[in-house]
Amino acid sequence: MNNSVILEIRAGAGGEESALFAARLAAMYRRYAARRGWSLAAINESKSDLGGYKEAIFEVRGQGVYDDLRYEVGVHRIQRVPATEKQGRIHTSTASVAVLPFVERTGVII
């Protein structure tokens, strides 16, 4: 059981809307970590012009972190009508999530 991971969230297709979606995902993972009693620390955050995330990298520590987050890996998609849309068209935005477990260092003697 791994108790520490790197969680990466990156905006994908959809321009500024995807950056806003990535920020919503980051907020969701922050709340989830807090409810589980895990610690979540930002390693790197790259903000977009409207306050979303182009990229957000966190270190998450706690009991069973990897076991709970490993199924979150992949591309997430949202479809919505943004507030800036005048004609009511639906926009599709994506963000990718990566969960990288920390592994114990081992020495190999050859």
| The pLDDT value given to residue 91 | 87
| The pLDDT value given to residue 1 | 58
Enumerate the β-bridge partners of residue 4. Answer: 61
User: CB–CB of 81/91 below 8 Å?
Assistant: yes
| The pLDDT value given to residue 43 | 94
| The pLDDT value given to residue 3 | 86
Averaged pLDDT in 10-residue chunks for the chain of 110 residues: 88 87 94 96 89 93 93 92 79 93 81
Buried b or exposed e, range 46-79, using 16+ CB within 10 angstroms: eebeeebbbbbbbebebeebbebbeebeeebebe
pTM: 0.84
